[in-house]
Chains A and B, each alone.
Chain A
Amino acid sequence: MSEQRVHFYQVGSFAVGNRLLSADDRTVQSSPHRTNSIDSGHRACQGCGEALGARYALDAAMRATNGQLLAVNATGCLEVFSTPYPETSWRIPWLHSLFGNAPAVATGVAAAMRVKGRSDVRVIGQAGDGGTVDIGFGTLSGMFERNDDVLFICYDNEGYMNTGVQRSAATPPAARTATTDVVGAEPGNGFGQGKDLPRIAMAHDIPYVATATVADLHDLERKVERAMSFRGARYLHVFVPCPLGWGSASNDTIHLARLAKETGLFPVFEAEHGVVTNVSRIRRLAPVEEYLKLQRRYAHLFGAKGRPDIVARLQAIADANIARYGLAPERGELDNREDA
């Protein structure tokens, strides 16, 4: 029997689909039995993409592991806003050691479970982009290379937001941060720098690498579940807008995450053993201006003294991503189509 895939566009979000989906297709988060791994009452900013991403990722991991989950956290926003002494938001076992060692600590936790014969207990490491692509990079690469049984999740908000919005190696070109200010001939962050961690992870040939955004939480949950079906090192890179650091409206977090994907600036894909196996194609191709204009960190690119030349270079990056991963929208994408 052929089945029809239905898109729900009425509110511009996939999330609305829950009410209309069969119970099996609903998100973990919509279930009254979700674990609330990171509970309400934490100190994240309004509209925090990281809090949302972590909540969905961890609850999905809890369901995938039947509640047998241990989490290791790097220093950063997620750590700070979730454990203001003497409170904790964590309803799962949670360990924070340092900024740059979460992957190695997770390796140790996984080793302890292995030596104790607890193959049912799984381990997640998590960090922001600074803790992943910069200070934690060495330990992350070591964990990948040894293929330790850890799912490492990077919540990427493209900078050191906890310390006051400084540049990381995940900060995009032209973006204003406190250490890449909008002065001089090349305002904001420079071009031609930075680390593309998902591709670096793939180069380690680990079993599973995926990217996701908080605009598609079904997809995020599915990728966490998929990651948990593998043994060995796995990497999930989640795009999480930061209203504070980006100078965006709190209610634009989901919108910005979607635009990052729909412009091609943030490719959403999955890879197994170093090979891309699935890409989320763009549904409605958007120019990068649409994404950039909603963020004060790019304000210097627009207006009377705007820099259309820099916007064009950012568009070229998006175009290159679209070509590299084959993200261009299919013809007739907006029509109902057979499920791929």
Chain B
Amino acid sequence: MLRQLEGSKAIAETVALCRPEVVCAYPISPQTHIIEAIGVKVKDGSLAPCEYINVESEFAAMSVSIGASAAGARAYTATASQGLLFMIEAVYNAAGLGLPIVMTLANRAIGAPINIWNDHSDAMAVRDSGWIQLFAETNQEAADLHVQAFRLAEELSVPVMVCMDGFILTHAVEGVDLMDQDTVDRFLPSYEPRQVLDPDDPVSIGAMVGPEAFEEVRYLAHLRQLDALDYIPVIAEEFTALTGRPSGGLIHPYRAEDADTIVVALGSVLGTIKDAVDHLRDGGERVGVLGITSFRPFPIEAVRVALANATRVIVVEKAFSLGMGGVLATDVSMATLGSSAVLTTVIAGLGGRPIAQHSIESMIGQAIRGELETLTFLDLDEGIIERERARMARTRRSGPFAENVLRDLRHNREDRS
């Protein structure tokens, strides 16, 4: 049944339907509404049996999840940004131990400068951790991906992170078709662990592994990620058969079959890009979109096929690797190796900066005219940059640069008024 719901509420409702047995809660915007809503369900008894644990940090949230999962319980938590970084040692550990924890990542920028708004820097920081990372385009897909995430995680013994854009999705109220308990139960069997702490069958989990076997153990973890490339489409199809909704899978192409120019992106910005593409198509441009749902494992073959006929590929990213450029673009370039397509990277939407349809359209226009630089920062205020660079050249103690930029920005506005 379609309901008008805040994204966080839709996630909380859906996670509850997945019957998590241990849920850890530590507040950080913009994921807080999710764990708050689950907390109510545990406290009023509508989600039972479930242990809801208010922990003292994100590091503890992931650590408690590790213990719960290793002891055979279905474990869930949610975080964002600094919280993900604070738990990062445990994030790697959960994957290394092969524990099928599911976590919502309400994508948010990483400081400094501190910034609570959306971008993908947090998800990129744990790109190599061994977690499966699925990116949702809409709140409907975010909700559906959680159900698939538990199935995927438990089938493969790999933790899964569902990435949804902070505020843009978590705080947006839109129509979401929530599943019912019976449908979820049919899709998601109870958790049967591959390894478990059991007094009747004692095992040691987390032993030290030296050079004689470390490579093999890591390679096995890599193979499980590759297995996920096969399994993700299977469960997405099964999910579609059950619900009628095309949620999940590896990639979402849109008007890409005959496109000369294809824009690749992750998450909710795909909606804006699709609008831009529709508008440009109306003007006769052959443009299309490729949404990446499974960022890790990266579906290199599916991406290669989807981009095979494009002459221009534009990767729009809400994060970047300082001193290098695009993160997603680097992966896409591996998929287009040997192709003659021109690949450009556009960094956009950092720290919650709006990505406007007209900016996307103008950027695509530049690409089509061959005017788009290999690495472009969308809507960058060059004047502000030059002013701070000049200040730094002029005086040694130029001061904290973020604050300088804010001051310059205020002056610019006052000058204009």
Q: Which positions in A face B, CB cutoff 8 Å?
A: 67-70, 72-73, 79-80, 83-86, 88, 90-98, 100-101, 104-117, 121, 138-139, 141-142, 145-146
Contact = CB atoms under 8 A, between A and B. Distances in A.
Helix, strand, loop or mixed for chain A's interface? mixed
Given A68-B199, A107-B64, A108-B63, A115 B51 contact: yes
Which 10 pairs from chain A and chain B are nearest by CB? A108-B67, A96-B206, A112-B71, A142-B56, A104-B63, A101-B63, A112-B73, A105-B67, A108-B68, A83-B207
A320 to B, nearest CB: 32
Contacts of B89: 98, 100-101
Contacts of A91: 202
Contacts of A107: 53, 55, 60, 63-64, 67
A73 B51 CA distance: 22
B111 interface: no
B21 interface: yes
Nearest to A139: B60
B210 interface: yes
Centre residue among B21, B22, B54, B64 by max chain A CB count within 10 A: B64
Nearest to B197: A93
Nearest to B217: A85
B68 A109 contact: yes
Contact of A108 (B50, B71, B206, B208): B71
B70 A109 contact: yes
Nearest to A104: B63
Interface residues of B, number: 44
B415 interface: no
Contact of A95 (B51, B56, B60, B70): B70
B63 A139 contact: yes
Contacts of B71: 70, 108-109, 112-113
B417 interface: no
B212 interface: yes
27 contacts: A70-B71, A79-B206, A85-B209, A93-B198, A94-B197, A94-B204, A94-B206, A95-B206, A97-B67, A97-B90, A97-B206, A101-B60, A104-B59, A104-B64, A108-B53, A108-B64, A108-B67, A108-B73, A109-B70, A109-B197, A111-B67, A111-B68, A111-B73, A112-B68, A112-B73, A139-B56, A142-B56
A108 B63 CA distance: 7
B199 A69 contact: yes
B112 interface: no
B57 interface: yes
Contacts of B55: 104, 107, 142
